[in-house]
Chains A and B, each alone.
Chain A
Amino acid sequence: MTTPIVAAPPRRAGWVGLVGRRLRDWGPAAVVFLLGIAAWEGYTQLADVEFFLLPPLSTILETVWNDRDTLWSAGWFTFKEALGGFVIGSAAAILLALVLARWRSVGAALMPFAIAANAIPIIAFAPITNNWFGLLNPASKMAISAVLVFFPVFVNTLRGLTSVRPQQVELMRSYAAGELEIFRRVRFPNALPYIFTALKVATVLAMIGAIVGDYFGGSQDALGILIRRSAGIFAFDLAWAAIVVASVVGIAFYAAIAAAERVATSWQPAARVE
Chain B
Amino acid sequence: MSQSEQVVSLRDVSKTFERTGTSALEGIELEIGRREFISLIGPSGCGKSTLLRIVGDLIQPSSGDVVVNGKPAHQARLDRDYGIVFQDAVLYEWRTVAKNIGLPLEMGGWDRRRRQERVHEMLELVELTGFADHHPWQLSGGMQQRVSIARALSFSPALLLMDEPFGALDEMTRERLNAELLGIWAETGSTVIFVTHSIAEAVFLSTRVVVMSPRPGRISGVVEIDLPQPRTNELREDARFAELIRDVRRVLRRGGGLDEHEEPLPVEERV
Contacts and interface: CB of A to CB of B under 8 A. Distances in A.
B17 interface: no
Interface in A224-274: 265, 267-269
Contact of A170 (B83, B84, B138): B84
Given A170-B84, A267-B95, A176 B90 contact: no
Contacts of A268: 93
B137 A173 contact: no
Interface stretch (B63-71, B72-80, B202-210): B72-80
Interface in A188-204: 189-190, 192
B112 to A, nearest CB: 17
A173 B77 contact: yes
Contacts of B79: 176
A4 B143 contact: yes
Nearest to B136: A267
A5 B92 contact: no
A173 B58 contact: yes
B121 interface: no
A2 B135 CA distance: 20
Contacts of B86: 167, 170-171
B139 interface: yes
Contacts of A5: 140, 142-143, 173
Chain B CB within 10 A, most for which of A4, A5, A8, A174: A174
Interface stretch (B24-32, B102-110, B184-192, B222-230): B102-110
Contacts, number: 76
A174 B160 CA distance: 11
A177 interface: yes
B56 to A, nearest CB: 6
A1 interface: yes
B138 A174 contact: no
A170 B140 contact: no
Contact of A174 (B58, B95, B130, B180): B58
Contacts of B140: 5-6
A175 B80 CA distance: 6
A176 B80 CA distance: 6
B176 interface: yes
B226 to A, nearest CB: 29
Interface size band for A? 20 to 34
B12 interface: no
A176 B81 CA distance: 10
A271 to B, nearest CB: 10
A38 B137 CA distance: 44
Chain B CB within 10 A, most for which of A4, A170, A171: A171
A6 B77 contact: no
A269 B137 CA distance: 7
Chain A CB within 10 A, most for which of B94, B130, B138, B140: B94
Contacts of A186: 92
B130 A167 contact: no
Contact of B78 (A165, A167, A176, A189): A176
Interface string B45-58: 00000000100111
A172 B53 CA distance: 14
Contacts of A165: 88, 90
Nearest to B78: A176
A8 B130 contact: yes
A174 B94 contact: no
Contacts of B82: 174
A176 B107 contact: yes
Interface in B169-209: 173, 176, 180
A189 B131 contact: no
B134 A8 contact: yes
B238 interface: no
A2 B134 contact: no
A181 interface: yes
B90 A181 contact: no
B58 A175 contact: no
A269 to B, nearest CB: 5
27 contacts: A2-B180, A4-B127, A4-B128, A4-B131, A5-B140, A5-B142, A5-B143, A6-B139, A8-B130, A9-B138, A167-B86, A167-B90, A170-B53, A170-B58, A171-B84, A171-B86, A173-B58, A174-B58, A174-B83, A174-B84, A175-B80, A176-B78, A176-B79, A176-B80, A189-B94, A267-B93, A267-B95
- CB-CB nearest 8 A-B residue pairs: A175-B107, A189-B94, A5-B140, A267-B94, A167-B90, A176-B78, A6-B140, A2-B127
Interface of A: 1-2, 4-6, 8-9, 165, 167-168, 170-177, 181, 185-186, 189-190, 192, 265, 267-269
Given A173-B57, A174-B82, 20 more contacts: A1-B127, A4-B128, A8-B130, A165-B88, A167-B88, A170-B53, A170-B84, A170-B86, A171-B84, A172-B107, A174-B56, A174-B58, A174-B83, A175-B80, A175-B107, A176-B79, A177-B107, A267-B93, A267-B94, A268-B93
